[in-house]
């Protein structure tokens, strides 16, 4: 039964990571460049895409953390995880910290930055300030993509050092 739980957890974990990191990839390298190239005002399309993607990303984040905990506790003892004496435990720690940073960036953009940009735009705020915040938001998406690819690399290392 433990093996079945581990297999299902790993599948959900990987699927959720594909949704979150793949979604960031799609937005950065497909949707945004296409919208900028073909639309006079890409903002409404990107806003609509964000409204569809953010709930999926939020659910993915929740599933990633739940299944990550389940997989870790199912396949390793707590003392192995907390020992920091093996490549595996050190890599896991870096992966968790990186995933937490990704989560912080994601929720900062969604709960603080995007509403602030929207409010400034609806109030007819300074386009200079809106542009600055939009650049910050775009840079944070790029940062999260970098974090995401780092998490994937660390996952590969974890599989190689399953000790």
Instruction: Name 133's Cβ contacts closer than 8 Å, sequence gap at least 6.
Output: 113, 116, 117, 120
pLDDT at position 43, please? 82
- The stretches in the chain having pLDDT less than 50 are none
Candidates 143, 158, 145; CA nearest to 90 is 158
Domain residue spans of the chain: 2-160
Instruction: Name 76's Cβ contacts closer than 8 Å, sequence gap at least 6.
Output: 88
pLDDT at position 44, please? 86
pTM for this model (two decimals): 0.89
């Amino acid at each position: 039964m433990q093996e079945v739980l581990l297999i299902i957890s790993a599948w959900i974990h990987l699927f959720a990571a594909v949704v979150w990191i793949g979604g960031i990839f799609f937005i950065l390298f497909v949707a945004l460049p296409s919208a900028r190239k073909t639309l006079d005002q890409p903002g409404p399309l990107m806003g609509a895409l964000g409204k569809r993607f953010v709930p999926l990303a939020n659910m993915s984040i929740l599933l990633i953390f739940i299944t990550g905990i389940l997989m870790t506790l199912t396949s390793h003892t707590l003392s192995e995880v907390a020992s920091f004496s093996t490549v595996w435990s050190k890599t896991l720690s870096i992966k968790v910290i990186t995933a937490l940073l990704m989560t912080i960036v994601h929720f900062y953009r969604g709960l603080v930055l995007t509403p602030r940009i929207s409010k400034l735009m609806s109030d007819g705020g300074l386009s200079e300030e809106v542009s600055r915040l939009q650049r910050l938001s775009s840079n944070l998406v790029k940062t999260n993509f970098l974090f995401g690819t780092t998490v994937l690399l660390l996952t590969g290392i974890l599989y190689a050092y399953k000790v």
